[in-house]
Chains A and B, each alone.
Chain A
Amino acid sequence: MPVWHEATKALQESGQIQVVGIIQEQHPDRCALFMQWKEMDWPIMVDSLDLLGVSAVPITVLIDEAGVVYKVRARTRDLEAFLSEPPVEFEEAAAPQAPNLEELRAHVSSEDSSDLRDPANLNALRYFIDSVFLWGGPQRLDEAILIYQSTLVMHDDATFAFHLGVALQSRYEKSHEPDDFARAIKAWSHALASDPNQYIWRRRIQQYGPRLDKPYSFYDWVSQARDEISARGETPLPLGTEPRGAELAYPARTFVVDETAKADPDPDARINLDQRGLIGIETIVVPTTEAGGSSSRVHVLLTPNESLNAHWNNESDETEVWLSPPPGWRVNALGRTAPNGPGAVSTEPRRVEFEILPPDDASPGIHVLSGYALYYVCEDADGQCLYLRRDIQIPITVR
């Protein structure tokens, strides 16, 4: 993209061309930071659902004055011929408007539209749900998810499944409900299974998946971007969700084990168990998308129980999670820690991630790995603080 930017900067400034972007990304704010970093200020449209239907990026498209496609997958060397084309006649287009959701709802709710064997009806329903997601705002996200799910029950459609995953992940990043993340991965995996050449869909899983399956680090550029933006005297644009764990991890060709891990801190299970569930723990397994691959990345999510007014105690050691793999199974680290939050107490969700590789002779099916978490938790913001253990079990599917 920066190569294109250099090739077109003067042309854009002189008005000879208009540079525009469409981003195929779950997190548009990360693209905004990228644009700030590279000092690219052309207009961007957000296509998180991939309504454009591209299967890989980047793609550069040249479009003439009438909105007709001149070249797809253009290279900078195509610019000269494009610019030498005489201007074509065009009609002014109406200003773009968001669809009226209530009109769309009324249309898809009519009995005339109920037969989804009619492609027109199916597409009308698709347009309605996608519009609820795109234009309904956070208050209608639940509605969009509910209708995607209801429709998928009746009509197994890969695009619906991908869109459901995008909506679930969006909700997860607002509410931190672990089940939404797990269901997003499941929905994306379902979509990809029907179209393994859809790399936009594949990347959404790989973003959170194991290193053996990664084409590159997805967001390793973020810290460098912030440093360079700050060095220019500017303030880096904020991110709604910080990239971490799998999103920052680099690809690996072999399974990498961290040999520096310290010893199991509670091998005999002597630390008191968290009987009341002050901390909720969920595990989400992101499988490889690689054909025949078997590694997985396990996300362990720990959340203080709001109904018990539980808080992390930050004036103590960090939260730890330990795994005990069966013989032959490999994990990249037996133990991982999650850093303490700000202040004396806090309630933020915490996450640690592991990579797991079953033995070659593991039988197909579900295997359960055990582990536990150790944490300092307070029963209230100013209540009694305890050091507790919670055991966890992680189901891993071997294909």
Chain B
Amino acid sequence: MRSLFFVLATAAILLTATSGAKAQSVIEVGQPFPGLVLPALKDGSPASIAMYRGKKVVLHVFASW
């Protein structure tokens, strides 16, 4: 943990207010679906859309509310 905070402290000196890298995924027609690995609801195991290669996939991004 200490070494990570050393790096973060160093980064504080180097950072400027304008640095703003975004890490958001992009879902675009014709592009591969983002290769996120997320916990499965059923058991928390690693899961990804790539698990379904070879099948046509209907993906619902949703919430129960």
Contacts and interface: CB of A to CB of B under 8 A. Distances in A.
B11 A19 contact: no
A59 B61 contact: yes
A64 B60 CA distance: 14
B31 to A, nearest CB: 6
Interface of A is mostly: mixed
Contacts of B63: 23-25, 31, 57-58, 203
A113 B7 CA distance: 8
Interface residues of A, number: 96
Interface string A121-137: 11100110000001100
A154 B33 CA distance: 32
Contact of A97 (B36, B46, B49, B57): B46
B61 A122 contact: no
B5 to A, nearest CB: 7
Contacts of A57: 61-63
Contacts of B31: 68-69
B50 A134 contact: no
Contact of B11 (A93, A115, A203): A115
Contact of B33 (A59, A61, A91, A113): A61
Interface of A: 1, 4, 8, 15-25, 28, 30-35, 43-47, 51-54, 57-72, 74, 79, 82-83, 85, 90-99, 105, 108-111, 113-117, 119-123, 126-127, 134-135, 143, 147, 150-151, 153-157, 159, 203, 207, 216, 218-219, 221
Which 7 residue pairs spanning A and B have beta carbons closest together? A53-B24, A119-B21, A93-B50, A34-B64, A44-B41, A96-B48, A58-B62
27 contacts: A1-B60, A18-B57, A19-B59, A20-B60, A21-B62, A22-B62, A23-B63, A30-B64, A31-B64, A43-B41, A58-B63, A62-B56, A62-B57, A63-B57, A63-B59, A69-B27, A69-B28, A72-B27, A74-B58, A90-B54, A98-B46, A105-B4, A108-B4, A109-B4, A116-B14, A122-B23, A151-B8
Interface of B: 1, 3-8, 10-12, 14-17, 19-34, 36-42, 46-65
